[in-house]
Structure 1
């Protein structure tokens, strides 16, 4: 029996309305429980001014759990790899331990985020639902992606940006349109459920944005380039510090203990402002209040130590902090509006470190209002380009290079690019080749004239 495409698509829409809504409800419920519990623990621990002295112990315990319960490092990068290579088939047993690790670290002041556990919880729920429904591999991948995106939506408080981030972070240069509808439905549903359950989100619609002008546009361009270079430096620093930490010939939990001691010393030297999520200082910067102009650098140091030592938690919240404070410092340097550039830096650094310029542009709109959209989009794309072919997530696939002048074999993961590429793998575009030929011709004519 022949059936029109429209009929098939109609029933496909009905199918994914049901499945994605179910996954969104479950993720919203479970993720909200985690977020509210985490916030409660952090709120209680913040009542003790010297709780950060427990950082060595919490890092020791987190590494102990990772070594004996988690046989390998399981984070967002592992999820991306599973979705890209294995149709989203996951090991669900790692989720509870991962949550315990994150609570341990954040409660005592480790500089990390809460996004990774929520994304892992969401992906795990999607995987369990796929197993219960006994779907094929293609639908399993979609269901895991639904949960993955819904987890980000619960944390960002931005359902559209959360959905796009979960899709865009899988591969550089492409967006998988076949999963857009399920991801949007799951993310919006999860966001509504978490809101109904009392999870609060950060919103700050900007009341003043400078009028477009030549001076402001130049500041915006320079800012986007600076944020991209900051993203490049941050990713490289995290990678190198992790490699250096792994090379230290000590028992892993002992390395965690020593890393906690280093953070305690740094806290005593500088401030407690750079511990934990750091939401208050980040919000102050976006609201235009005075913030230490080196706050972004100090937060980066605290974050690099936490992530390379503890191997738990997420880096996204610290990146948002670093981006906002870097934007504020840039605004002070060039005499621009601090709130505007703090908001732009907030999303631009995330775009550069994760190769997600579209999702972060939408995130700016959902958090700061539509009036910032064109400026945030320009800065996010510039940051994305200037950060180079690297990412916080080594499993991210590179489908289309960031420039046609760079010869890279498509389909490789970001982590494998360094092994596959050589420094000479640069392909001059046609106009550069013509320019080169032109100058070679001029040089040849000059040499011929001298010979005569």
Structure 2
């Protein structure tokens, strides 16, 4: 009978290995549908909220009313409590949080994050805060992918893959760019390319684009019919690339300088997004219609629609001012704790500086037959984000997709590669996404340790022996001797209140231990972990803090003890990996 059962298990395992690719691809299609639909829902919610704020703002015979200044501030006041009370993961520009979930939590994202992201990001963007859609929709798509992976009880490796599939579907559906969305998810989020991963990721991206295109008419984000590039323009790309690498470095430095300023600011965290909306409100009022508020595509379209581009000093100064103000508005909106992406603002900034570069080149070299300044705007878009995000391949593919023309590839390749190279030298291999993680001690470009493939929930002990805080140290000594444990969580009313070890016990003389309680010696500031985090993360915490065990608490109830993990458990986790 045992042999029959063993043979049956082997058959099931063989069947699973043979058809696993089809199973994962099927789930990738589901995620593509959810991601594409989520992108459209998110866009519609933004438009709805934007209508609430901005309908009827024009004064009769004049421009917008002064109330425009207050809109991003009001949006920040609404979003602050949502983020800091219900979903801290919704704070910031989204992509670093996804990468962190892949690195630390095995791709597990809390189920409520997707809904709260739609709400908080839509309010920030719809009220005029300067931010993009790609960060939130990437997180929303990742939440769908993670949810489906958890529902089907997939292992850590496949759960991560489906989370990345969700990113691809959301980005592709948002920008009508299936190849760009797939490459973004692999180059920026997963940080790797592999044949096994690429098929389901591409499938999610294509399905996400198709679903979004079915719900709304797919149109290019940018249309520039006057695209013509000469040999002289290709030569200028070798100048534009390094300049935009420096600009990318400056953009990243300014962004994190302002974010650090808000982190250090001694005011309630829930009020910070409102304060961050001040810059977008003021600059958006005085330059209303130029794209400082919101995503910024209306400002790009306005420049595209200009019948001519006078190469005057005033025009060049206006473009530079728009780029600089967008940097400040986005840094304050997102860096203060608001929810929104930095991809669209980066495109706006790159476009304005790129058009200015084209005008300056035309003035300095009047004898050359150079392309339209808006062509240099498209190159600036690609070059700036390629340098800031370490994403040259994404920009080389996505910008032509968004503009519905691949004839731009040669100059975009030159500009992106050179900008990427210069920015990487200046930023020492970091990016606008990875710097946030590096501050937390997460280094995404290091070789992945084996233990990152297993979660704490798989390695921990669920049958926890805890002690009451009113236990005497004499009783604790007897329990240590009887159970051969050197430490215990301290629990009262089913809540974790501390941890006590043999080292705490021996600090008290034996004669005093009968009248000394555990609560008197236990460590109250307990370092805890969650079951969705990686075993590698637990081992790092134990090593850094010189401790031998960590209480494992519930994801939704931080004081509810559900297990404990020790160094021995982490070492034993290697056996679990080998069994896979």
TM-score, scaled relative to structure 1:
0.81
Distance 2:287 2:252 in 1: 23
Please give the residue correspondences for 1:422-437 in structure 2 after superposition, counting only pairs within 5 Å.
Answer: none
C-alpha displacement of 1:262: 4.2
Q: Which piece of structure 1 moves more, 121-130 or 25-34? A: 25-34
Q: C-alpha deviations, 1:351-397, integer Å up to 9, x for none?
A: 11111111110112312311111111111111111112221212485
Number of paired residues? 398
Q: Runs of 5+ in structure 1 lacking a partner?
A: 400-408, 413-452
Distance 1:304 1:72 in 2: 18
Q: 2:570: which partner in 1? A: none
Please give the residue correspondences for 1:46-445 in structure 2 after superposition, counting only pairs within 5 Å.
Answer: 46-49=54-57, 50-71=67-88, 74=91, 75-170=94-189, 174-198=192-216, 200-204=218-222, 206-213=224-231, 215-271=232-288, 273=290, 274-286=292-304, 290=309, 292-294=318-320, 295-335=322-362, 336=370, 337-368=372-403, 369-388=405-424, 389-394=429-434, 395=437, 399=445
Q: 1:427: which partner in 2? A: none
C-alpha displacement of 1:16: 3.4
C-alpha displacement of 1:77: 0.7
Q: C-alpha deviations, 1:17-48, integer Å up to 9, x for none?
A: 32211111122223222222222332453323
3-state secondary structure, aligned to 2:336: helix
Residues 293 and 25 of structure 1, relative CA distance in 2, 3 Å threshold: same
Distance 1:101 1:40 in 2: 13
Distance 1:34 1:356 in 2: 25
Q: Is the CA contact (8 Å cut-off) linking 2:128 and 2:280 kept in structure 1?
A: no
Q: Is the CA contact (8 Å cut-off) linking 2:50 and 2:126 kept in structure 1?
A: yes
Structure with the higher helix share, 1 or 2: 1
Residues 73 and 147 of structure 1, relative CA distance in 2, 3 Å threshold: closer
Residues 411 and 258 of structure 1, relative CA distance in 2, 3 Å threshold: same
3-state secondary structure, aligned to 1:293: helix
3-state secondary structure, aligned to 1:304: helix
3-state secondary structure, aligned to 2:148: helix
Residue 27 in structure 1 maps to residue 35 in structure 2: yes
Distance 1:393 1:62 in 2: 22
Distance 1:40 1:29 in 2: 16
C-alpha displacement of 1:136: 1.6
C-alpha displacement of 1:266: 3.2
Distance 1:397 1:288 in 2: 45
Q: Runs of 5+ in structure 2 lacking a partner?
A: 1-6, 58-66, 310-314, 363-369, 450-580
C-alpha displacement of 1:159: 0.6
Q: Which piece of structure 1 moves more, 63-72 or 115-124? A: 63-72
Residues 237 and 94 of structure 1, relative CA distance in 2, 3 Å threshold: same
Distance 2:236 2:135 in 1: 33
Q: 1:426: which partner in 2? A: none
Q: C-alpha deviations, 1:290-323, integer Å up to 9, x for none?
A: 5732221121121111112243111111111111
Q: C-alpha deviations, 1:95-114, integer Å up to 9, x for none?
A: 22222221221222111111
Q: Is the CA contact (8 Å cut-off) linking 2:141 and 2:169 kept in structure 1?
A: yes
Q: Is the CA contact (8 Å cut-off) linking 1:147 and 1:186 kept in structure 2?
A: yes
Distance 2:286 2:224 in 1: 34
Q: Is the CA contact (8 Å cut-off) linking 1:234 and 1:300 kept in structure 2?
A: yes
Higher relative contact order (CA 8 A, sep 6+): 1
Give the CA RMSD over aligned residues.
2.7
3-state secondary structure, aligned to 2:319: coil
Q: Is the CA contact (8 Å cut-off) linking 2:76 and 2:338 kept in structure 1?
A: no
Residues 147 and 309 of structure 1, relative CA distance in 2, 3 Å threshold: same
3-state secondary structure, aligned to 1:111: coil
C-alpha displacement of 1:281: 1.5
Residues 346 and 305 of structure 1, relative CA distance in 2, 3 Å threshold: same
